[in-house]
């Protein structure tokens, strides 16, 4: 299971504090879909946003940063990949329906 983390102005919260913060965040977002600004304000923050860090969900809060719209949590650091993220590169037929090789006669 991955840990739920919280950072406020770059300082990580302890595990118990982070779990409680995430609980409040989840409860708020259930009642107010996408309302990051409202949650930030309720916590005495200027902004909050979700991120992913090495497979762990992180809520990043700031007392001075500008609130951004709710989006899918970006990854913090690029991770090594075993190939292209293009689904066409995983075998099978190309998007144009052709097999990609020319027949020789």
Whether 102 maps to a domain, the answer reads no
Count of domains forming the chain: 1
Q: Which residue has the tokens 């075998």?
A: 91
Whether 96 maps to a domain, the answer reads no
Range of the domain at 38: 5-74
Whether 98 maps to a domain, the answer reads no
Three-state secondary structure call for residue 29: helix
Whether 30 maps to a domain, the answer reads yes
Q: For residue 87, what is the DSSP state? A: G
Q: Which residue has the tokens 């409680």?
A: 20
Whether 9 maps to a domain, the answer reads yes
2-6, 14-18, 43-47, 84-88: which has the minimum mean pLDDT?
A: 84-88
Q: Is the pTM of this model over 0.75?
A: no
Task: Confirm if 58 and 5 have CB atoms less than 8 A apart.
Answer: yes
Whether 26 maps to a domain, the answer reads yes
pLDDT digits (tens, 9 = 90+) for 40-96: 999 999 999 999 888 888 999 999 999 988 777 667 665 544 444 444 444 445 555
Whether 13 maps to a domain, the answer reads yes
Whether 80 maps to a domain, the answer reads no
């Amino acid at each position: 299971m991955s840990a739920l983390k919280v950072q406020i102005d770059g300082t990580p919260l302890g595990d118990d504090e982070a779990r409680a913060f995430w609980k409040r965040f989840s409860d708020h977002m259930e009642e107010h879909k996408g309302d990051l600004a409202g949650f930030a304000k309720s916590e005495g923050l200027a902004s909050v946003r979700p991120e992913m860090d090495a497979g762990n969900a992180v809520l990043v809060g700031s007392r001075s940063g500008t609130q951004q719209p709710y989006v899918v949590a970006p990854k913090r650091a690029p991770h090594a990949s075993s190939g292209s993220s293009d689904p066409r590169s995983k075998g099978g037929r190309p998007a144009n329906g052709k097999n990609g090789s020319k027949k020789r006669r």
